[in-house]
Structure 1
Amino acid sequence: MATSQHCSHLRSLIQDCIEKHLYTSAAFFADKLVTLSNYEPGDVYLLAQTFFLGRNFRRALKLLNQSKTVERDARFRYLAARCLFECSEWEECLSMLGDSQVPEEIGAGQQEQSLSSPQTWEGSLSVNAAICLLRGRAHLAMENPFSAKKWLKESVIADPNCYEAFAALVDNHLLTSAEERELVSSLKFPEGSRWVELLYRCKCKKYENEYEVESCLSELEAEPSLAGSSQSELRPAHAATGENASFSSKCSDTAEAACTLATNGDVRTCRAEWHYHRGQYQECYAITSGILERDPYHLDCLPVHLASSVLLGKKNELFIRAHRLVNEYPDQAISWFAIGCYHTCAGQHDSAQRYFGKCTSINPRFASGWIAFGNAFAALDEGDKAMSAYRTAARLFPGLHQPILGIGMEYFRMSNLGLAKEMFVQAMAICPKDPLVCNELAVVHYRNGQHQQAEVLLQHALQMVCGAPSPRWEPTIVNLGHVLRKQQRYSEALDCYGTALGLCPRSAGTYAAIGYTFHLMGDLDQAIDNYHKALGLRPDDNFSTDMLSRAMQEDCAEFSRLLLTDTPWQGGT
C-alpha cells in the first residue's frame, strides 16, 4: 500500500512532466497514482487532464464518465464537455454542460472537498466563465450565432478576464458596434485592470465615438510619468457632452501609474486598425510592418497588414508574405487569404476567388475571407455567386454590416433599386455610423430622383469621415457634386468637383462632370476645355466624346449666328 508521501511525490512528478510537455510520461505516472490512491477524485481528474493534454480525448471522456464525481463537480463536467467538443460532438457537449441556466459558482470549501490534488482552480478564471465560453463555442460550431452570443456574453460578464469569450464575440462579429461598447461599459473589471478595459474598448468596432478610441489608445501608449495626467491632456478643447462626458468622467476616476504598453503588439495592431479605419493606409502599413518585423507570426496583425498592402498596391510584399505563410502555416486560413490578396492586388480576380474560397473552407468563421470572396465574384460580374458569399457571411456574422451592404450593391448593379434600398437600410440599422452605407443609400435616392434626400445623406456621410477626407472618399464628394448639379446649384457643384480633384487629380470622370456643369451654365469654352482634359486621361470615354462634339457644334452655331448679325464674338459667352 502506497504511503501518502509516495502519492504526494508522484503528484509532483506528474506536474513536472506536464510543465515540460511530457504528456505520455505524465499519463503513465498518473495512471499508477490513481490505482495507488484508490481512485481519489483529484487524482482521477489529474489523469483525465494528462489524457486530454495528450489528445486522447475519448480515453479521458471514458475515465470521467466512469467517475461518480462527474455529475456533481463542475470541473469534471467541464473537462468531459471539452473532450466532447474536441471530438466535434457539439450537442453531447451542450447536454453534458446543461444548457438551461448559468451554473452556481463553486465555493472554496466545495473545491477542497471535491479535489484533493494540487489541480484546484484557485487564483484563476471563474469556472462559470469557462463553462459559458464552452457553451458559446459549441453553439458557434453548430452555426447558431444568437445562442452563441448569449453564452459568450455570460462568460465575459462572469469574468472580464476571460479574453477568449470577448475575442470570440469580436472576431466572429456577433455584436454590433453599439452592443460591443455597451458590453464593455457593463463589465466589472478587477482593481488594477484598467489597461484591460482600455484594450477591450480599442478592439471594438471603430465606427462610433472617435474621441473615445483615440483617448483609449493614447492612454495605453502614454509614458508612465504621464499616466496620471493623460486624462486631462487628452480632452478636446470643447466641453465633453453626453456619452463623451460619461466616458471622460469614468476615465478620470482611475489615473493609474503603470508601465507603458506602447510597444505591445496588440496595442500597436489596434493603432494600425484605427489608421486603416481613418483611411490612413500608409501609416497603417508602417505600423504593421514594424510589428511583423519584430514578430513575423503575429496572426492578429496580418489581416489589416494585408488589407493595407492591397490598397497601397504592394504586390511584392504580398507575394513574399503569402508564400512564406503558406510554407509555414498551410493549415491556416490567413495563409490562403494572403495569396488571394496578392492576386486581387494584381487584378487577377479569377485566381483570387479560388484562394479566398479555400480560405473560407479551412476556416468558415473567417469574416474577412467571406467578404473578399464575395468581392472577387463581384469584380468578375458574377452577381449570383457574390450574393451567395455575402449571404453566408451575413448569416454567420450578424453584427457585421458589410455583407448586407454587399448584397445591396449587387441588387443595385441589377437595377433592383427597391431591394437595394432595403438592404442598405438594414446595413444602416446595424452600423449607422458607416459613411459608405450613407453614400450607397444616397445613390439609390439619386437614381429615384430624390435629390434632397440624397444630399442630406451625402453631407451626413462626409461629416462622419474620420479626419480629413482621403482619396477613398473622392467618389462621395463627386456624388454630392452630381446631386447639387441636379438641383441647378452649379457653383456649389463646381466646388465639390474641385475638392474631389484635389484628392484625385487624374480623375477623368470628375473633369467630365466639371465640363458638363459648365456646359449647363452656358460656358462652352470651359466645357470644351474640361471635356478635352477628360479625354486626355481616358480617350475611350463615350460621354465626354459625345458632349465635346455637342459643345463644339453649339459653339460653332453661336459663332455663325454672331457673324450673321455682325455682333462681336465673345468665345462662347
Structure 2
Amino acid sequence: MEKYLREWRQEALNRCQYDTAIFVADKLLALTDDDQDAFWLAQVHFTTGNYNRTQSLLARGNLVERIPQCRYLAAHCSIKLGKMDDALQILGDKNPTHLISAPGSARTKLRHVDVNTRAGSRHNKNGSRNERLPTSEERDGEDVNNIKSEAGMCYLRGVCYAKQNSFDRAKECYKTAVQIDVQCFEAFDALMSNSLMAPEEEWKFLESLNFDTINVSNNASLSQEAASFTKTLYTTRLSKYTRPEEFTNATETLTTHYNLGSNPDIVLSKADLTFTLCRFRDTLALTSAVLATDKYNFNILPLHIASLHELGEKNTLFLLAHDLADSNPNEPCSWFAVGTYYLSISRIAESRRYFSKASMMDPHFGPAWIGFAHTFAAEGEHDQAISAYSTAARLFQGSHLPQLFLGMQNLQLNNLSLAREYLTSAYELCENDPCLLNEMGVVYFHDHQLSTAIQFFTRSIALSEHNDAEPESALPMRINLAHAQRRAHRTPDALASFDRVLRLGLKDAAVFAAKALCLLELDRAWDAVVTLHEALAVSPQDPMATDLLNRALEMREGDSGLGLAVDVEVEGQAEIEELDRRLNGRLSEIEANRVAGRRARRRGGEMDPDQSAFGESMLVDSDEG
C-alpha cells in the first residue's frame, strides 16, 4: 500500500495535479509517519504557494531541527513570505565551510586503478563502490542529500543578506554554496547575473571549484565527462571581456559535441559577447532567433531591447514594449522595454518613470537602474545621475560600468580628480573595454598628458577593430585621437585622422572646422576654405566655421600665408583659444552600451551587467557637457 500511494503521489505531481498529490500524501503520512513522507507533503504545499501551511507541517516532530532538507524548505518559506530575519534564524549565520571541496589535491582526483584493486575502498551509504577519494573526513561522513541541502541553505543565506543590502556577506554565501555543491546553479547564477565579482575574479573562482565531485551512477569515465561538461556550461556565464577565446572554445564545444548551438542559454551567451564587442546587428540576429520560438524569454529580452535601442529600431521597440506591457505587466522587463522606447524618442520624463517602476518591481534588475541613471544624464542633471550610478555601483560591485559612468559624469562636471579616481577603479576591474580606454584618454587629455592620451585612444580603436565592432562605435575615439594629435602638434597625423573620420560618413561641422584648423596650421589656406564651405553646408550658421573661413580668406589674400598665420596667432590668440576649446567640446556621442545584465545578467549590467542597455554621450571638453 505504501508503494502504491508513493507512486500515485508522484504521478499526480508529474501531472501538476497538486490537490490529488496532497490528498494522497496526507494519507501516506498517516499510514507511515515517515519523515520523508512528511517532507514530500510539505514540498507539495510549498509548490502550491501554501507557505504558512508548509511551515506548520514541518514544525511537527522537530523536522526542521533534525533534517537539513526540512530546514532548507522552512527557511525558503520564510523568504517567500518576506520574513528575512525569521529565515536567517532558521538557517543560522554560519556557513559549513568544512564541507567545501577544493580542487587539485590528491583527495579529489579520480582513481585510475583497476576496479578489482579497490575492493577495500570506501563504500557509500548504499553499499556501492565510490570511484573518488573523499575530499575531507567531514564531507565524506555526510550524506549526499544533506550536503546538497547545506549548499542550498548557503544560497538562501545569500538571498537574505542581499535583500538586506549586505552584498559582501551575500557574495560569500553564494561562493560557499557553489564550493560545497558545484551543481548549485542558483548560487552560481546569482554571482554572475548580479556582477558580484570582478571579471578576473570570476575566472579564478571557476578554477577553484571542484567539478570532480560530480558523480554519475558511480561511473568514473561518465563522471569525468559530466564534470567537464558542467565546467564548460559555467564558462559561458562568465565575463566576456577578459578571456573571449576561452569563451569561444566553450561555446564551440557545446555546439559541436552536444548539439546545444540553438539552446537559448548558449545563444544568450553568444549574444552577450557580440553586444560586449559592439556588434549590435549580430546581437539582434541571435536574440531574434530565440524570440522567434520563445516569445517571452525574459532572460534574453533585455539584450534584445538594448540592441533595438542601439540600432534605432523605434517602431519595433514600440510594438515589443506594447505587447510586453499587455501580456506580462508583472515582469520588470516589460516596463524596462517601455522606458527604453521613451528614451529612444527622447521623452525623458516618461522614460525615467518606467525605469523607476521596473527597478521597484525588482531592486536587483541591473538594466533598469542603469537606464534610470541615464535619464538624468541625458538632461544634464549630473548630481542626480551620479547618485543613481552610485546606487548601481553598490548593487553590482563586480561590474566596471557604474564606475565608468560615474567617471563620465564627473568629467562633464570638470571634476578631473574624481573622474580619474572612478575611471581608475573601472580600469582595475576591466582593462579591455574600448569605451573605458577612450574615457581614460579624455582624462589625460584634460590633464595635458597628450602622449598618454594618444596611447589610450589608439588602444581603444585597436580593440574596437579587433572586436569587429560597428564602425560607427569607434568614431568618437577617432575624433578624440585627432584632437589629441592636433594639440600635441602632430598636425599631419591629426589631419589623417580627421580624414578617416569623414570617410566613414560622419557629417559634423565641428569635425570639418577642426580639419580646417589643421590645414591652416600647415599653410594650406585654400584647402581650408574648401573644407570650411563643407562645414557650412552642414551647418550654415556655425560660428566656428564662419570665423575660421574669414581668417582663411584673409590668409589667401596675403602674399605669405605663413606671415598671416603668425599674425592670426598673435593678434587673435584669445579667439583661437576659445575656438580650440569649443572644437574640442563638440564631439559626436559615444555609446556606452552594456546590459547588466548581465549581464543583466546578465546576465547585469551587465546589468550582463551584463551589462547596461543604453549609451551616454561623452564630450572631450567637459565644459560643453
Q: Which residue of 2 aligns with 1:401?
A: 400
C-alpha separation between the residues in 2 aligned to 1:125 and 1:515?
A: 71
**Where do 1:527-538 residues align within 5 Å?**
527-538=528-539
C-alpha separation between the residues in 2 aligned to 1:561 and 1:184?
A: 64
C-alpha separation between the residues in 1 aligned to 2:301 and 2:34?
A: 47
C-alpha separation between the residues in 1 aligned to 2:124 and 2:157?
A: 24
Give secondary structure in 2 for the equivalent of 1:208.
Answer: coil
Q: Which residue of 1 aligns with 2:371?
A: 372
Identity %, equivalent residues: 32
Q: What is the CA-CA distance between 1:104 and the residue it aligns to?
A: 6.5
Change (3 A) 1:502 1:149: farther
**Where do 1:204-215 residues align within 5 Å?**
204-215=238-249
Q: Which residue of 2 aligns with 1:514?
A: 515
Give secondary structure in 1 for the equivalent of 2:168.
Answer: helix
Q: Which residue of 2 aligns with 1:12?
A: 7
C-alpha separation between the residues in 1 aligned to 2:194 and 2:549?
A: 52
For the pair 1:47 / 2:41, whether they are aligned, the reply is: yes
Give secondary structure in 1 for the equivalent of 2:65.
Answer: coil
Which shows bigger deviation, 498-507 or 470-479?
A: 498-507
C-alpha separation between the residues in 1 aligned to 2:266 and 2:377?
A: 34
The letter for the 2-side match of 1:35 is A
Select 2:172's aligned residue among 141, 146, 150. 150
* Alpha-carbon displacement from aligned partner over 1:387-420 (angstroms, at most 9, x marks no partner): 2211111111101111121122111111111211
C-alpha separation between the residues in 2 aligned to 1:203 and 1:453?
A: 34
C-alpha separation between the residues in 1 aligned to 2:235 and 2:540?
A: 50
Q: Which residue of 2 aligns with 1:356?
A: 355
Which shows bigger deviation, 442-451 or 180-189?
A: 180-189
* Alpha-carbon displacement from aligned partner over 1:176-196 (angstroms, at most 9, x marks no partner): 111111122232334223343
Q: Which residue of 2 aligns with 1:114?
A: none
Q: Which residue of 1 aligns with 2:234?
A: 200
For the pair 1:165 / 2:187, whether they are aligned, the reply is: yes
C-alpha separation between the residues in 2 aligned to 1:528 and 1:473?
A: 28
Q: What is the CA-CA distance between 1:143 and the residue it aligns to?
A: 1.4
C-alpha separation between the residues in 2 aligned to 1:494 and 1:103?
A: 62
C-alpha separation between the residues in 2 aligned to 1:207 and 1:561?
A: 49
Matched residue pairs, number? 512
Give secondary structure in 2 for the equivalent of 1:174.
Answer: coil
Q: What is the CA-CA distance between 1:292 and the residue it aligns to?
A: 0.8
C-alpha separation between the residues in 1 aligned to 2:503 and 2:468?
A: 12
Change (3 A) 1:407 1:523: same
Change (3 A) 1:485 1:559: closer
Q: What is the CA-CA distance between 1:458 and the residue it aligns to?
A: 1.9
The letter for the 1-side match of 2:490 is R
Q: Which residue of 1 aligns with 2:482?
A: 481
Select 1:23's aligned residue among 18, 36, 42. 18
C-alpha separation between the residues in 2 aligned to 1:560 and 1:384?
A: 48
For the pair 1:83 / 2:82, whether they are aligned, the reply is: no
Q: Is the 8 A contact 2:69 2:146 kept in 1?
A: no
C-alpha separation between the residues in 1 aligned to 2:562 and 2:84?
A: 85
Q: Is the 8 A contact 1:322 1:335 kept in 2?
A: yes
Q: What is the CA-CA distance between 1:286 and the residue it aligns to?
A: 1.4
Q: Which residue of 2 aligns with 1:32?
A: 27
* Alpha-carbon displacement from aligned partner over 1:511-539 (angstroms, at most 9, x marks no partner): 22211111222211122222221222233
Q: Is the 8 A contact 2:55 2:77 kept in 1?
A: yes
C-alpha separation between the residues in 2 aligned to 1:263 and 1:125?
A: 34
The letter for the 1-side match of 2:185 is Y
* Alpha-carbon displacement from aligned partner over 1:17-58 (angstroms, at most 9, x marks no partner): 222222233223333333333x32222212211221121111
Q: What is the CA-CA distance between 1:361 and the residue it aligns to?
A: 1.0
* Alpha-carbon displacement from aligned partner over 1:283-334 (angstroms, at most 9, x marks no partner): 2111211111121122211111111111111111111111111112111111
Q: What is the CA-CA distance between 1:103 and the residue it aligns to?
A: 6.6
Give secondary structure in 1 for the equivalent of 2:64.
Answer: coil
The letter for the 2-side match of 1:495 is A
C-alpha separation between the residues in 1 aligned to 2:399 and 2:353?
A: 23
Q: Which residue of 1 aligns with 2:159?
A: 137
Q: Which residue of 2 aligns with 1:245?
A: none
Runs (5+) with no aligned partner, structure 2:
101-122, 127-142, 215-223, 564-625
The letter for the 2-side match of 1:338 is A
C-alpha separation between the residues in 1 aligned to 2:467 and 2:28?
A: 65
**Where do 1:416-565 residues align within 5 Å?**
416-465=415-464, 466-468=466-468, 470-558=471-559
C-alpha separation between the residues in 2 aligned to 1:559 and 1:490?
A: 20
C-alpha separation between the residues in 2 aligned to 1:75 and 1:285?
A: 43
Q: What is the CA-CA distance between 1:489 and the residue it aligns to?
A: 0.9
Q: What is the CA-CA distance between 1:559 and the residue it aligns to?
A: 7.7
| RMSD (Å) for aligned C-alpha atoms | 2.6
C-alpha separation between the residues in 1 aligned to 2:447 and 2:87?
A: 53
**Where do 1:67-466 residues align within 5 Å?**
67-102=61-96, 109=125, 126-189=148-211, 190=214, 191-193=224-226, 194-222=228-256, 258-465=257-464, 466=466
C-alpha separation between the residues in 2 aligned to 1:103 and 1:41?
A: 27
The letter for the 2-side match of 1:168 is A
C-alpha separation between the residues in 2 aligned to 1:105 and 1:153?
A: 13
Give secondary structure in 1 for the equivalent of 2:63.
Answer: coil
Give secondary structure in 1 for the equivalent of 2:414.
Answer: coil
C-alpha separation between the residues in 2 aligned to 1:531 and 1:432?
A: 39
Q: Calculate the TM-score normalised by the size of structure 2.
A: 0.77
C-alpha separation between the residues in 2 aligned to 1:407 and 1:472?
A: 20
Which shows bigger deviation, 123-132 or 463-472?
A: 123-132
C-alpha separation between the residues in 1 aligned to 2:156 and 2:50?
A: 19
* Alpha-carbon displacement from aligned partner over 1:420-444 (angstroms, at most 9, x marks no partner): 1111111112222222122112112
C-alpha separation between the residues in 2 aligned to 1:186 and 1:534?
A: 58
Give secondary structure in 2 for the equivalent of 1:340.
Answer: helix
Q: Which residue of 2 aligns with 1:254?
A: none
C-alpha separation between the residues in 2 aligned to 1:415 and 1:389?
A: 19
Q: What is the CA-CA distance between 1:72 and the residue it aligns to?
A: 2.5
* Alpha-carbon displacement from aligned partner over 1:204-258 (angstroms, at most 9, x marks no partner): 1211133223322333333xxxxxxxxxxxxxxxxxxxxxxxxxxxxxxxxxxx3
The letter for the 1-side match of 2:391 is T
C-alpha separation between the residues in 2 aligned to 1:392 and 1:371?
A: 9
Which shows bigger deviation, 399-408 or 452-461?
A: 452-461
C-alpha separation between the residues in 2 aligned to 1:102 and 1:463?
A: 47
Q: Is the 8 A contact 1:528 1:548 kept in 2?
A: yes
C-alpha separation between the residues in 1 aligned to 2:561 and 2:370?
A: 58
The letter for the 2-side match of 1:26 is A
Q: What is the CA-CA distance between 1:82 and the residue it aligns to?
A: 0.8
Give secondary structure in 2 for the equivalent of 1:512.
Answer: helix
C-alpha separation between the residues in 2 aligned to 1:517 and 1:265?
A: 51
Q: Is the 8 A contact 1:125 1:161 kept in 2?
A: no
* Alpha-carbon displacement from aligned partner over 1:359-391 (angstroms, at most 9, x marks no partner): 111111111111111112111112222122111
Q: Is the 8 A contact 1:132 1:155 kept in 2?
A: yes
Tell me which of the two structures has the higher relative contact order, counting C-alpha pairs closer than 8 angstroms and 6 or more residues apart.
2
C-alpha separation between the residues in 2 aligned to 1:105 and 1:283?
A: 44
C-alpha separation between the residues in 1 aligned to 2:147 and 2:170?
A: 20
C-alpha separation between the residues in 2 aligned to 1:146 and 1:560?
A: 66
The letter for the 2-side match of 1:481 is A
Runs (5+) with no aligned partner, structure 1:
111-120, 223-257, 563-573
C-alpha separation between the residues in 2 aligned to 1:73 and 1:104?
A: 19
Change (3 A) 1:478 1:84: same
Q: What is the CA-CA distance between 1:81 and the residue it aligns to?
A: 0.8
